[in-house]
Amino acid sequence: MIKFHRLLFITTLMIMNTASAQTIIPLYPEKTGLRIWGRQKLTDAPHLVHHPLSGDRTGKPCVLICPGGGYTNLAAIHEGKDVAAFFNSMGYEAFVLMYRLNDGEQAGSRFPAQHEDVTTAMRIIKSRASAIGVDPNKTGILGFSAGGHLASMGATMHLEADPSASDPLARYSSRPSFAILIYPVISLKDSFAHKYSAEMLTGKEPNPALRDSLSTYNRVTSQTPPTFIVFSSDDKSVPVQNGIVFYQALLQNGVKASLHVFDHGGHGYGMGPKDPVLNQWPGMAVRWLESQGMR
């Protein structure tokens, strides 16, 4: 019991220190009028929240975190800040992406805004890799639910580097080195699709071609990075079939992949802090990253 309370105290200090050091990085500092919006009408511009590691270590691995929320909310605490604190404690530099959202009136942002946000975010991190001591070849992406769909777009719809581009960010590839997808939305069109995420991302009037194109299992290629997937078999919001079809596409394209399906949990549990089974996945993900040379 004493050891547990000591560990809890140390972890709390880590989170407090990380929170005090957070910095905000706008995605588009040269543009005015952009806002996150969504159901909560967030007027902040899309941005990154940087959760840095202390010390002068170089060659650090790094993770870009995409909170979920059905493309209309951002679960920025239990699928963002808390996740960043955990990965900091494991030796990873961490960024949380606050991306553009939509709302029930379709007054917010639809695709391709979200794809622009995730690719821009990855390019910003890589452009600053040297300054913050990050290894760009050990910089990956992690997402939950709709944020998992966004992370899967980042992994399967990445932009190549253009060394001669006038835009300095375009000189960096947006391809992540790894992907971690936690109960991700993958399909926007099948019977197991998350229809609300599809509506918020692509609009109320179904566009079959667009929704097929953005069902990211159709986007997997041999260039998709190694991927770690977590689901619960009793997830009624985003059925496990989303993870299965993405996993199958990864295998068919020769991409290293790991799929873990818990027998309970439902949806939206983040790191599962109150469940002794679900709370194993963060450690499993780190050990998997180590096996991929991402430490």
Phi, psi of 97 (to 5 degrees): -95, 120
What is the maximal distance between C-alpha atoms in the chain? 59
The two three-digit tokens of residue 56, written as one number: 């002068």
pLDDT values of the chain reduced to their tens digit, one per residue, 295 residues: 333 333 333 343 444 444 448 999 999 999 999 999 999 999 999 999 999 998 888 999 999 999 999 999 999 999 999 999 999 999 999 999 999 999 999 999 999 999 999 999 999 999 999 999 999 999 999 999 999 999 999 999 999 999 999 999 999 999 999 999 999 999 999 999 999 999 999 999 889 999 999 999 999 999 999 999 999 999 999 999 999 999 999 999 999 999 999 999 999 999 999 999 999 999 999 999 999 999 8
Query: What residue segments make up the domains of the chain, in order of their start?
Result: 18-291
Q: What is the C-alpha to C-alpha distance for residues 74 and 80, in angstroms, rounded to an integer? A: 9
Beta partners for 97? 48
Q: What is the C-alpha to C-alpha distance for residues 239 and 231, in angstroms, rounded to an integer? A: 8
Beta partners for 26? 47
pTM: 0.93
Side-by-side strand order, sheet with 47-51: 23-26, 47-51, 93-98, 60-66, 134-144, 179-182, 227-232, 257-262
- pLDDT for res 21: 81
Rg for the chain, CA atoms, rounded: 18
List CB contacts of 30: < 8 A, sequence separation 6 or more.
none
Of the candidates 123, 127, 107, the one whose C-alpha atom is nearest the C-alpha of residue 115 is 123
CATH-assigned architecture of domain 18-291: 3-Layer(aba) Sandwich (3.40)
- pLDDT for res 2: 35
- pLDDT for res 127: 98
Counting beta carbons within 10 angstroms of the beta carbon of residue 151, is it exposed (0 to 12), middle (13 to 18) or buried (19 or more)? Answer: buried
DSSP state of 37: B
- pLDDT for res 206: 81
